[in-house]
Amino acid sequence: MHDDEWICGRLGEDEPWILGAVNPPVFENSLFTFGSAEELGEAIRNEDERYVYWRGTNPTVDLAQRKLAALERGERAKCFGSGMGAISATISSLVSAGDHVLVLGAVYGPTTQFLRYLEKYGVTHTHVDDLAGCDSAIRASTRLLYFESPSYMAYEVVDIAEVTAWARERGLVTAMDNTWSTPLFQKPLTMGVDLVVHSLSKYVGGHSDLVGGVVVGPARLIRPLALTEYQLYGAAMSPHDAAKVIKGLRTLPVRMAAHQERGLAVAAFLERHPAVRSVNHPGLPSHPGHAIALRQMSGFSSLFSFVLDTDSRQEVGAFLDKLRHFRIGVSWGGFESLVNAPALTVEESVRATMGVPVGLVRLSVGLEPADTLIKDLDLALETLA
Ligand SMILES: Cc1ncc(COP(=O)(O)O)c(C=O)c1O
């Protein structure tokens, strides 16, 4: 097995590309042709592996898939046109009418919305906080346990091996969103998770110029998904986006080292500041899940939240407006540092049911110098002092 840096930079790139090009070619082909009708028929029956039509497979997308599968230590990967494309196809592939899904901890909002959408097809779900909650909510019809770790917005850490052992004993399939950690810092398949999904729009792409997703797992689960949901939903990744994923992967190890260092420096600064009530970053020793995080993760990304010492939406707004370096926006994982606050962007009733305090602010620490970012936060925090 090669190490992750080699996988990111070299896997699948041994062949001399045409004219000695340093980048793999982008196969801008909607279709591929065959020597005979029989050959075409055989290819269509195995379209998850053969190049027939771009909505199913493409060599550039395939190269990105091979790298992502190897990084996650999975047999196969399938790339989608967005993270939600990967999530909705994955969940759909695992459940049928009458099935029930357990959702452990806070997950990305549209994932919950998709589960609600599935109710019209007779698939129900229950949100639970921990394994005790899973024990109470499990039903004879429960088929899937879905979670993120660290969890959405609160960045609580789930003990992955404990959860997958619990699920396996009860015959459930597990699927996990591993976007926060990237395939470099956490490998859930090695801890018993059946299918791992990612939004590639965040750190993997890394430059806020791409929307994409991937699911990784054993061939027995990926193959049917690739032949059915992938083909029918049509959320295919384009070869151009796959080329950006491939470029993103080349620099992922160095970028993640820098994100980790800068994110932790900013989090440590905020933790010491009197205008901050708490900081939710699993890399801080004060975080309740830090010990589990150290056991199951090899590093920390730079997306985290903290709680301002205020219960006023106006003050949260004034704080955000005062920031000069952090730009106000959704998404995360790119070069630029970003800030977002659910009190200002999420409907009040929804925010309250999410258990998110008014003063919660989310930061995506980018690749600018940490002292520039800290100075920016320090000045803006004066508005609350
Ligand atoms: C944790 C998480 N998972 C999945 C997604 C969805 O990814 P995409 O925007 O690529 O559809 C997001 C997007 O913000 C996310 O934050």
Token pair of 308, please? 């301002």
55 is known as an active-site residue: yes
233 is known as an active-site residue: no
Question: pLDDT per residue over 96-123, tens digit each?
Answer: 999 999 999 999 999 999 999 999 999 9
Domains of the chain and any CATH numbers = 4-249 (3.40.640.10), 252-381 (3.90.1150.10)
Selected catalytic residue, list 51, 76, 78, 108? 108
Give the contacts of 68 (CB within 8 A, at least 6 positions apart). Answer: 77, 79, 183, 198, 204, 214, 216, 245, 249
DSSP code of 17?
P
Question: pLDDT per residue over 198-246, tens digit each?
Answer: 999 999 999 999 999 999 999 999 999 999 999 999 999 999 999 999 9
Quote the CA–CA distance of 279 and 70 in Å, as a whole number. 34
Query: Sorting pLDDT into bands at 50, 70 and 90, what band is 346?
Result: confident
Sheet architecture: strand order including 303-308:
276-280, 303-308, 360-364, 338-340, 327-328
Question: pLDDT per residue over 268-307, tens digit each?
Answer: 999 999 999 999 999 999 999 999 999 999 999 999 999 9
Task: Indicate whether residue 203 lines ligand 1 (CB < 6 A).
Answer: no
Task: Indicate whether residue 84 lines ligand 1 (CB < 6 A).
Answer: yes
Quote the CA–CA distance of 292 and 77 in Å, as a whole number. 27
Sheet architecture: strand order including 173-177:
76-80, 213-217, 195-199, 173-177, 142-148, 100-104, 124-128
Cα distances (angstroms) measured from residue 201 to each of 189, 197, 206, 345, 368: 21, 12, 7, 20, 19
Task: Indicate whether residue 334 lines ligand 1 (CB < 6 A).
Answer: no
Tokens 């070299």 -> residue: 10
Token pair of 44, please? 């269509």
Residue 1 has pLDDT above 70, yes or no: no
The full DSSP string for 106-124 is ---HHHHHHHHHGGGGT-E
Shortest-distance atom of ligand 1 to CA 200? 10
Question: pLDDT per residue over 146-186, tens digit each?
Answer: 999 999 999 999 999 999 999 999 999 999 999 999 999 99
Task: Indicate whether residue 301 lines ligand 1 (CB < 6 A).
Answer: no
- Nearest CA to 358 out of 323, 322, 313 is that of 313
Give the number of other CB atoms < 10 A from CB of residue 364: 26
Tokens 């879905």 -> residue: 146
DSSP code of 31?
B
